[in-house]
Amino acid sequence: MKKAYLTALPYAVYACIFIVAPLILIVVYSFTSSGGEFTLEHFQRFFNFDNPAYMLVLWRSVRTAFVSTVICLLIGYPMAYILSKISARLRSILAFLFVLPMWMNFLLRTYAWMTLLEKTGIINTLLGAMGLPALNIMYTEWAVVLGNVYNFLPFMILPIYTSLTKMDQSLIEAAQDLGANRRGVFFKVTFPLSLPGVISGISMTFMPAVTTFIISRLLGGGQNALIGDIIENQFKVVGDWGFGSALSVILMVLILLSMNIMRRYEAENAEGGVLL
């Protein structure tokens, strides 16, 4: 037992220094005034219903992240399902192709989308060559959504793909033996059993999408600022660490609540079992 504690000690020290201590500092700064006194002014500034500018930014961030997550789910689930059904060799190749863009720097991937979406970009050049009107997507909220979908789609595909490949095939065979057609097998067996992967994919997509600031700055052009942009601005430009920390705490609470709701839904589904 003592040896096990000694083995875990480096990880505990690392967690305390780089995870626990920064979180404590953020919470302390959020309740501290510029004079070092306890205050709630940072939270009152955010929850100002006479001037709800920051609440509107948070709502825009949640809305953009929600739309991005839904699109990732609609695209990612069929892709993961197809991957789980093809041969092992082809599956490995396609899975590698999905992961390959993640090896590229996040900033470079976002700049690549700027090249595609700008007025004189590749997409509008091809549309003009075909005699079609140009698309005015750059510096809009939809450009931010497209950037989120491109950057976070693998986080949706991989957990679902893992759930589908680890699924007990005997349950599917049992449903088929009981007379269920393909649609019935999918909705009553395959999809319920893959829900843990779906929940993980939603969490891994929604959280970075709601906190991102690089994508909204580059593709949104500063016209569609998200809560991540405001937090970065408070720390790096304005120098108001107290308000920036308060925004971070509010965002963390929102993320923890959403994760708790999804975890409860996953637990209820696990208790319900497979519907045959």
Tens digit of each residue's pLDDT, the chain (276 residues): 566 677 778 888 888 888 899 999 999 999 998 888 999 999 999 998 888 989 999 999 999 999 999 999 999 999 999 988 888 788 888 878 877 877 888 888 888 888 888 877 788 888 888 887 877 888 888 889 999 999 999 999 989 998 998 888 888 878 877 777 888 888 888 888 888 899 999 989 998 999 888 888 888 877 778 898 899 899 988 889 999 999 999 999 988 888 888 777 766 665 555 444
Is residue 10 in some structural domain? no
**Residue 30 to residue 231: CA distance in whole angstroms:** 12
Is residue 25 in some structural domain? no
Question: Which range of residues forms the domain containing residue 194?
Answer: 52-272
**Residue 164 to residue 194: CA distance in whole angstroms:** 6
Is residue 33 in some structural domain? no
Output the CA–CA distances (angstroms, integers) from residue 206 to 160, 191, 198, 249, in the order listed.
15, 20, 12, 17
Is residue 208 in some structural domain? yes
CATH code, domain with 71: 1.10.3720.10
Other CB atoms within a 10 A radius of the CB of residue 166 amount to: 12
Supply the pLDDT for residue 28.
93
Is residue 214 in some structural domain? yes
Is residue 202 in some structural domain? yes
Is residue 7 in some structural domain? no
At residue 199, φ and ψ (nearest 5 deg) are: -65, -45
Tokens at 248, concatenated? 């971070």
Say which residues have a Cβ less than 8 Å from residue 119's Cβ, sequence separation at least 6: 134, 136, 138
* Domain tally, the chain: 1
Is residue 98 in some structural domain? yes
